[in-house]
Amino acid sequence: MAHSNHINMLEGPILGRLLLFALPLAMSSILQQLFNSADMAVVGHFAGKQAMAAVGGNSAVINLLVNLFVGLSIGANVVIAACVGRRKAEQASEAVHTSMALSLWSGLFLMFAGIFAARPILVLMGTPADVLDLAVVYLQLYFLGMPFIMFYNFGAAVLRSVGDTRRPLWILVVSGVINVLLNLVLVIVFQLSVVGVGIATLIANIVSAGMILRYLTQEEDMIRLDLRRLRICRQHLSRMVKIGAPAGLQGMVFSLSNVFIQAGINGFGSSAIAGSATALNFEYYSYFLIAAFGQAAVTFTSQNYASCQFERCDRVFRISMFWGFLFTGASCALFAGFAEFFTRLYITEPDVIPWSVSRILHVERHEWLIAIYEIAASCLRGMGVSLLPAIITMLGSCVFRIIWIYTAFAWNPTYETLMDVYPVSWIAMGIAMLAAYWYIRRKFFIERGGECVPEE
């Protein structure tokens, strides 16, 4: 393999290398969301607000079913990165093959679960009758591609474990362009509406999985994938689950609270659903900037902690937090300052725009707050501590938000009150997560007095 794609995280300056890791990763996620947003923009302009609500209102359900396994891919990243940090080539190879075998099994499980659970879940969420059938069709088509989505996600985690975030970016560029072109053809030319969007997404996911497979099988070092060696190693799987399952459960619980919130949004009708789904796109863009620095913090911390370089772990935390704040704050200011302009890029129906603008001003404007708990939690996971940040996030993002829905929102059942739950919960989680980080950091770094035995 061309080792120029790898980043040395154990030696030399951190800032430039961390930015080299995080920025392509952020661009990958943003491009992926831009291409997903193209789904909404196309149906919003050419198929109407019901079709747009069907596509955009599904994100909470998709995330609810998918996040556990996305969390396991984080665990895979940490385990492989730690093996690389300790320069254990055979262990790294075993972890890679365990990770990719897990991706296939999880993808198949999600495919069948998503297809059969789509309608019951959407009915339980109170999806309006004029949206329900379209939403079911899109959701089932989306989950049909889940084996390919999981294979890409775990494969990208393998590449990120050695600092390679550039090739996943190019994969998303290619598959995203294919997605957009197919959207235009299937929706505008063939007038397939939601079905066309679903088919385009499925084909794009197949392409991305094929490309990640090609890259991994052409590697020449410890992360090379040999399909004949695909098998589950219990030791590596146990560590992946130990680190990744709490993060995945955190994501599931986070999504569960969003299902409750989405049910509240559904009560305001299809215009509110379409407007909220539009604004959610901009929240994703800002969050992906935070998540990129969080993923960088996980990987850099994992390698340096495994090699007992605690001072570098501290610098990773500070650099990730500062730049995460900076980039996310800039994006929040941009979207909030031109809320109506950005909304009209997606949809122009007058009854939808106010709902989108309201959510941007109440939620997106404050999204930079997420960096506080996200970066701290990422550094903890890089040290192998996953349960505590998961508990904090579950309490803040689920328990607190559900209580809010049945108290503050019940007392004042307005759309704005429902949206305010986000920034309030982010502040609470940020305070708790920082306290947890400094406690664990002191325990793991200072109390050892600099003595460290690398993990086996």
Mean pLDDT by groups of 10 residues along the chain of 456 residues: 63 86 81 70 68 66 70 83 82 93 93 90 80 87 93 91 84 87 87 86 94 91 89 90 77 74 86 88 88 88 81 90 93 94 85 93 94 92 85 87 92 93 93 92 65 48
pLDDT attached to residue 454: 46
Please answer whether residues 79 and 382 qualify as being in contact, where contact means their C-beta atoms are separated by less than 8 angstroms. no
Angle of helix 270-306 versus helix 15-46 axis, rounded to 10: 160
Tokens of 20: 């080299």
Closest CA to 139 of 110, 175, 101: 110
Please answer whether residues 240 and 99 qualify as being in contact, where contact means their C-beta atoms are separated by less than 8 angstroms. yes
Q: For the chain, how big is the Rg over CA atoms in Å?
A: 21
pTM for this prediction:
0.72
Contacts 24+ apart (CB under 8 A), 180-186: 180/35, 180/38, 183/38, 183/39, 183/42, 184/42
Closest CA to 363 of 276, 248, 243, 262: 276
How many whole angstroms separate alpha carbon 11 and alpha carbon 219? 23
How many whole angstroms separate alpha carbon 116 and alpha carbon 93? 36
Q: List Cα–Cα distances, 387 to 75, 269, 345, in angstroms.
A: 12, 38, 40
Q: List Cα–Cα distances, 192 to 24, 123, 172, 225, in angstroms.
A: 34, 24, 24, 38
Q: List Cα–Cα distances, 272 to 45, 256, 269, 357, 451, in angstroms.
A: 17, 20, 6, 11, 57
How many whole angstroms separate alpha carbon 31 and alpha carbon 204? 13
H-run or E-run covering 42:
helix 15-46
How many whole angstroms separate alpha carbon 275 and alpha carbon 280? 9
How many whole angstroms separate alpha carbon 211 and alpha carbon 421? 40
pLDDT attached to residue 455: 45
Tokens of 56: 């955009």
- In the numeric block, the tokens 């747009």 are attached to 52
